[in-house]
Structure 1
Amino acid sequence: MDSGSLFYSFFLIFTGAALLATVALATRQPLIVAYIVLGGIFGPSGLAMITDTGLLTDIAHAGILFLLFLLGLDMQPSHLLHMLRKTAIVGLLSSVIFAVMGYGCAKAFGFNDTESLVIGGAVMFSSTIIGIKLLPTTVLHHKHTGELLVSLLLLQDLLAILMLLVLYNSKDLANGYLPLLGTLAMLPILVLSAWLSVRYILLPLMARYDRFHEYMFLLAIGWCLGLSELAHSLGLSAEIGAFVAGVTIATSPISQFIAINLKPLRDFFLILFFFSVGASFNLNLLSAVIVPGAVLALLCLIVKPPVFWFFLRGVSEKKKTAWEVGVRLGQNSEFALLIATVATAQGLIDVEASHVIQAAAILTLLLSSYIVVFNYESPIAVSDRLRRD
């Protein structure tokens, strides 16, 4: 079989993932570890059995879109605004501290101001994928801890998307801030277009054909990807479009049915995403980036939990809840990987700085997963006492 074919790549990825996932479960390890390690083994820097990681990354990006779409589905607009009002100050102040921390660490290792700013911006955010995947469904939907976690992650996602917009338009910033402001002005147009489409097109179609589950499934996928593409065409990001697509149909009575049926599709793409994370890392640069990457990762793991704890205590959260939320948010985000890719493409940072961001993100994703599953309730917790689906 052609080693460059998509089918062959899928065969290697999912067969290998099934084998490594079995080992991971038998040894009580997070499944995410298996997917990233598999990428390193099969990727260009490993056995080079899969070399077209760019295609897989593009496909895996759909996993992030579906994740944000499903997050939007779980958020009633009124409830979302209420929670964001409470956690906005926590999210904003903590992000500033993390950005300064990342900037200072990068400068200490000799990176220039622009590279240090990008590195600082990349470590501001925590992983939506890790945060949601390691949170039991009962906690996610029915407990205050889940509400706090999701609202902070959503705020960070919005900030990350804004940062991506700035990076995408960085070449135009030489001509002033008007191009960026023009792009941001498209956001209300996107939201209004989505709201009108849902009210006058989607909801009537859902009400008329809700008996046909296959059609509802297709309509949901089409709506998510369609609004993502519209957002991209307006100069925004596809991530914004996916999230808006979810929020705008969150009030639909069919929203939970859509959420349940799209989760397997989301997981399919997320496996590809984590594989591509491991596969895209150039192991030849490991000696050059391992020290700054490890230091940056340790700073994030050590600093993030107490910072979140401090600010959450400041808004009257219980000590135990504040610490658990801080620990669950103690890693870097998958957005850091996108930020590294976009900043490199725009010529803002070099390959070494990009790999420092990637190394720190991978290390924190791995280590944070271990910390959570050994200490808190999760679907893949090490002990039976902590395992909750």
Structure 2
Amino acid sequence: MVSLGHPLLTAIIATIMAALVGGAVAHRLRVPIIIGYISAGILLGVLNPVLQIDSATMHTVSEFGVALMMFVVGMELSLRDLLRSGGRLAVAGGVQIALSIVLGYLLMVLLGWAWFPALVAGCVVAMSSTVVMIRLYERQGDVGSTASVLAMGIAITQDLAVIVLVGMLPVLADFTPERISLLGGTLLRSVLVLVAAFLLATRFIPVLLRHAVQWNSRELFLLLAVSLCFGMALGTHVLGFSMALGAFLIGLIISESEYSRQIVAEVVPIRDVFAIFFFVSLGMLMDPAALASRWTEVLLLLAVIVLGKALIITWLIHAIGFPIRIAVTVGLSLAQIGEFSFVIAEMARTKNWYTLSEYNTILAASVISLLLSPMLFALSPVISRLAARFVRGERFRELREEIQVQRSVMRDHVILCGFGRVGSRVAQQLLGRKVPVVVIDLDPESILRARNQNIPIIYGDAEAREVLELANPHTASIAILTMPESSSAMVAARRLKEINPQLTVLARTHEEGKIADLRRCGVDHVVFAEEETARVIVRLALGSVVKKGEWEG
């Protein structure tokens, strides 16, 4: 054994260096960086007989990371967004949580787990990662779409449900008929926390933040934000709840203020450093050798997390009235383990609610689900097309529900596939120049916006030949594909060229590697968003400089 000095310094230095290596490898492999941190922790766990890192020290430091992480998650959410999404989405989120808990619980009971560890596993399964979900939509350039709004609504519902789960699990851990009275105490403490949060949100926090802004000091503003985070975390800890819950609540409160974006910008760098210790400490507890004997349990739990949860969410989103394509996209974007899942798992470990081998099973399945998430989401267009074939009447329901466009009057028009953020602006520019436009879209909200603007609209999937034929490609002047998914644009381009080989097709993409693929599928002109943005920036910059008399020959 080798002593490397002070235990705290040893833990900090070893963790940061290992996380740097693991994070760099994860970034290189284009997988979530959390995977790199947890893998670094596994490596430190293997080397710990030499390094002698104190697990208690790591746990103490990681508590700060958990609190700051949940603080920022709370600020990045919005109760207003959930309320705006409507009651049906909140109910769907609640049903998803309940069904996921039951599914996870039944699986682990069938595998021989005791009832309470199985219940904890079900709670872990029910949560999804808000951070990963947002990044998936950002990578696709689809933030603000109906699918992303629905996914955010489900994620917010999950995060709010943690308030109940974190409060009830400690009581259920040692539940007996004689301890029923403790449920009342837990509910009372929950009410106290929510009342305190309400008072802070309406009376104290807004006034305090306004005064803090007048100090005109970034350092004091940052210290105030961190103090609010840890102050609320300490308060919930005193009441018997987790520190993470308090930090999440205060973040949720601040999210409704006009200062939340600045606080996020100030706190995120600190959060990222401390969060490293949380994920590395999780990895240190994993025993790769022990997992070899439990690989069946890991794979079955992984199937529930990814396949089971995706199917539940897809079914619920479709049941409340959204097309199967959107439902599949939402389901796949949430088919992984969430930040609060790790918090619940760690709480269960520290309270000895399950064995170390059971903890390793949950953690391994969780890590693999995060690893698979980007790959599955990238396949969502293909999977949604396959799903539509098995949903009775899905493709032709889209046609029946549409207000039929008068095909006889459609000539020399533009077929615009997609009426999202980009498509709606393209339509405005064309209509402003008196160019006739026919829109094809599957998003109910986009349909409503187009109808309100008196734009001819066809409700349907632009990848379906039957839908495209309704837009009269034979007489159109051009087709513009503005959907963010390059795979969908490829299918639509092929279908359009099959109908009218002479039709000019234009598409956009965020991925430089997809340009050649789009052209092979029949797209005549590809707009690479990043390149066009760079050209506009340079043109404006050079124009501004020339006006000032600089850089002139």
Q: TM-score, normalised by structure 2?
A: 0.62
C-alpha displacement of 1:44: 4.6
Once residues 345 and 71 of structure 1 are traced to their aligned partners in structure 2, the CA distance between those partners, rounded to angstroms, is: 23
Aligned residue among 65, 69, 72 for 1:70: 72
- Structure 1 pair 385/98, CA: closer, same or farther in 2 (3 Å)? farther
- Say whether 1:207 aligns with 2:219: no
Aligned residue among 279, 286, 306 for 1:274: 279
- Please name the residue that 1:297 is paired with: 302
- Structure 1 pair 25/72, CA: closer, same or farther in 2 (3 Å)? closer
- Structure 1 pair 66/80, CA: closer, same or farther in 2 (3 Å)? farther
Name the aligned partner's letter for residue 206 of structure 1.
L
- Please name the residue that 2:335 is paired with: 330
SS class of match (2:175):
helix
Deviates more, 1:163-172 or 1:327-336: 163-172
- Please name the residue that 2:189 is paired with: 186
- Say whether 1:258 aligns with 2:263: yes
List alignment gaps of at least 5 residues for structure 2. Answer: 382-483, 486-509, 515-527, 531-553
- Structure 1 pair 132/163, CA: closer, same or farther in 2 (3 Å)? same
C-alpha displacement of 1:219: 0.8
Once residues 297 and 48 of structure 1 are traced to their aligned partners in structure 2, the CA distance between those partners, rounded to angstroms, is: 33
Once residues 318 and 54 of structure 1 are traced to their aligned partners in structure 2, the CA distance between those partners, rounded to angstroms, is: 50
- Structure 1 pair 139/4, CA: closer, same or farther in 2 (3 Å)? farther
The 8 Å contact of residues 291 and 361 in structure 2, kept in 1 or not, is answered as no
- Say whether 1:152 aligns with 2:157: no
The 8 Å contact of residues 30 and 370 in structure 1, kept in 2 or not, is answered as no
- Please name the residue that 2:113 is paired with: 111
- Please name the residue that 1:49 is paired with: 51
The 8 Å contact of residues 71 and 243 in structure 1, kept in 2 or not, is answered as yes
The 8 Å contact of residues 24 and 34 in structure 1, kept in 2 or not, is answered as yes
Aligned residue among 236, 248, 267 for 1:243: 248
| Corresponding residue pairs, total | 386
Once residues 218 and 23 of structure 1 are traced to their aligned partners in structure 2, the CA distance between those partners, rounded to angstroms, is: 33
Q: TM-score, normalised by structure 1?
A: 0.85
- Please name the residue that 2:389 is paired with: none
List alignment gaps of at least 5 residues for structure 1. Answer: none
Q: Deviations over 1:132-152 (max 9, x none)?
A: 454529979744433322321
The 8 Å contact of residues 126 and 331 in structure 1, kept in 2 or not, is answered as yes
C-alpha displacement of 1:292: 0.6
- Please name the residue that 1:232 is paired with: 237
- Please name the residue that 2:101 is paired with: 99
- Please name the residue that 2:473 is paired with: none
Once residues 240 and 112 of structure 2 are traced to their aligned partners in structure 1, the CA distance between those partners, rounded to angstroms, is: 34
Aligned residue among 122, 125, 133 for 2:124: 122
The 8 Å contact of residues 45 and 284 in structure 1, kept in 2 or not, is answered as no
Once residues 144 and 11 of structure 1 are traced to their aligned partners in structure 2, the CA distance between those partners, rounded to angstroms, is: 44
C-alpha displacement of 1:154: 2.4
The 8 Å contact of residues 230 and 241 in structure 1, kept in 2 or not, is answered as yes
C-alpha displacement of 1:191: 3.1
C-alpha displacement of 1:19: 3.1
Deviates more, 1:238-247 or 1:171-180: 171-180
Paired residues for 1:309-348 under 5 Å: 309-348=314-353
- Please name the residue that 1:285 is paired with: 290
SS class of match (1:170):
helix
SS class of match (1:266):
helix
Aligned residue among 74, 78, 81 for 2:83: 81
**Which structure has the bigger radius of gyration?**
2
The 8 Å contact of residues 161 and 239 in structure 1, kept in 2 or not, is answered as no
The 8 Å contact of residues 18 and 44 in structure 2, kept in 1 or not, is answered as no
- Structure 1 pair 282/189, CA: closer, same or farther in 2 (3 Å)? same
- Please name the residue that 1:351 is paired with: 356
Once residues 372 and 52 of structure 2 are traced to their aligned partners in structure 1, the CA distance between those partners, rounded to angstroms, is: 26
- Please name the residue that 1:223 is paired with: 228
The 8 Å contact of residues 11 and 53 in structure 2, kept in 1 or not, is answered as no
The 8 Å contact of residues 193 and 236 in structure 2, kept in 1 or not, is answered as yes
Aligned residue among 366, 369, 375 for 1:364: 369
- Structure 1 pair 264/171, CA: closer, same or farther in 2 (3 Å)? same
Q: Deviations over 1:104-135 (max 9, x none)?
A: 32233222333333333332222334334545
SS class of match (2:172):
coil
Once residues 116 and 30 of structure 2 are traced to their aligned partners in structure 1, the CA distance between those partners, rounded to angstroms, is: 41
- Say whether 1:131 aligns with 2:133: yes
Higher helix share: 1
